[in-house]
Amino acid sequence: MPKISFKGQQMPESPIRKLVPFADEAKKRGRKVYHLNIGQPDIETPEVALNAIRNYNHKVVEYSHSAGMLSLRERLTDYYKTVNIDVTSDQIIVGTGASEALLFAFQSIMDPEDEVIIPEPFYANYNGFATNAGINVTPIVSDIETGFALPPMEAFEKAITDKTKAILICNPNNPTGYLYSKEEMETLRDLVKKYDLYLIADEVYREFTYDGKTHYSAMYLDGIDDNVILIDSISKRYSACGARIGWLISRNKTVISTALKFAQARLSPPTFGQVLAEAAVDTPDEYFVAVIKEYIARRNAVVEGINNIEGAFCPNPSGAFYVVARLPIDDSDKFCRWLLEDFEFEYQTVMLAPASGFYSTPGKGKDEIRISYVLKVEDLKSSVKVLAEALKVYPGRTN
């Protein structure tokens, strides 16, 4: 039998999706499963975006420019003006989701065996993108006790080697919901200047900030225009995950010209997704006012509910729509599977993402889970109730 590639063997399984077969089986047994495992919002995609697809009347669905439709890139520059970021259309390369944009970035700035430093826990697919690009992730551990604040500069400096080429952050953060402050971003600026590194900033959750706090973009940082690569997407902003449109932005001309070669190799991003994305820029402000209000209520329901469970702890995040919570459990992978295979409360159970899959450091996240609060408040309250009941009888409870 022919062999599978080493890269294929090394490719990590998604901690978010690997439990899907167990959830399917639970549903077949008549259980209601609350899906708290994946960042798929139930918020409706803006009507202005959907209408653009409904009204599409071209006779041929053609390839677009490899960098994305010029009209879309020009509309994106208009969007960025509203958040005080000045970029031009030729500084943007559109990808099939932020995932492809990040992969283009990795491939453009790093050679095989080069290293990218990422504060952990981090979005699990960063590991997969790194494996795909043949590079190595160097994790810097952040702590639940601080709400997963940026680790100190000294921790980064200890991790930097002659193979280190970039620092990657997600702000606001997936999976923790942590929102990096202006001061923390300036710490990162000083690091990349001192060591001549790239700063890759995944800012797909920019709009989702709470408690009067505001997002501070990496594009605001002075003196590192050639170092910053911004990753962005319509998936979360406009609740359009399935459109698969994201992009990278850089003021570094060499980064853009290099990334464009990778974009040309896959021809072009999807046409209909680009049409939807271009129209989505016209989404009215009232849409976001209502969405943010809803997410605050959802966050509060989850955080308060978990912190009322004996032995559990959940920081109060200021961004995105995720929390990482610590539970009195022995093994988050085992617990999340047990919930689906062996537990039910009033014919209900919950599907969670084990936080171990969001760490690169072995053994980390064993007593933590990630929750996506993308369900209605009533469902979130019910799911936390189910979780509390599960912890009362879980065989691997630790206290």
Do residues 39 and 83 both lie within one domain? no
Check which CATH number belongs to the domain holding 388 and give it: 3.90.1150.10
Domain contains 319: yes
Do residues 201 and 348 both lie within one domain? no
The pTM for the full model equals: 0.96
**What are the tokens at 327?**
């539970």
Between CA 75 and CA 105 the distance in angstroms is 22
How many CB atoms are located within 10 Å of the residue 13 CB? Answer: 10
> What pLDDT score was predicted for residue 18?
79
Question: pLDDT-derived band of residue 38, with 50, 70 and 90 as boundaries?
Answer: confident
Question: pLDDT-derived band of residue 219, with 50, 70 and 90 as boundaries?
Answer: very high
* Mean pLDDT computed over 89-94: 98
For 51-60, how does the pLDDT look when each residue is reduced to its tens digit (9 = 90+)? 999 999 999 9
Do residues 324 and 205 both lie within one domain? no
Check which CATH number belongs to the domain holding 96 and give it: 3.40.640.10
pLDDT above 90 coverage of the chain, percent: 94
Q: Could you tell me the end-to-end alpha-carbon distance of the chain, in angstroms, rounded to an integer?
A: 49
Q: Which domain holds residue 121?
A: 47-280
Do residues 87 and 204 both lie within one domain? yes
CB 239 within 8 A of CB 219: no
Do residues 360 and 316 both lie within one domain? yes
pLDDT of residue 377 exceeding 80: yes
Do residues 385 and 307 both lie within one domain? yes
> What pLDDT score was predicted for residue 17?
76
Do residues 188 and 309 both lie within one domain? no
> What pLDDT score was predicted for residue 27?
94
For 97-142, how does the pLDDT look when each residue is reduced to its tens digit (9 = 90+)? 999 999 999 999 999 999 999 999 999 999 999 999 999 999 999 9
Do residues 167 and 298 both lie within one domain? no
What is the domain count for the chain? 2
Between CA 36 and CA 16 the distance in angstroms is 10
Do residues 18 and 77 both lie within one domain? no
**What are the tokens at 148?**
């997963």
Tell me whether residue 90 is exposed, middle or buried, using C-beta atoms within 10 angstroms of its C-beta: 0 to 12, 13 to 18, 19 or more. middle
Angle at 327 between CA 326 and CA 328, to 5 degrees: 130
For 143-200, how does the pLDDT look when each residue is reduced to its tens digit (9 = 90+)? 999 999 999 999 999 999 999 999 999 999 999 999 999 999 999 999 999 999 999 9
> What pLDDT score was predicted for residue 311?
96
Do residues 195 and 239 both lie within one domain? yes
Domain contains 398: no
Do residues 239 and 369 both lie within one domain? no
For 288-305, how does the pLDDT look when each residue is reduced to its tens digit (9 = 90+)? 999 999 999 999 999 999
Do residues 372 and 345 both lie within one domain? yes
> What pLDDT score was predicted for residue 295?
97
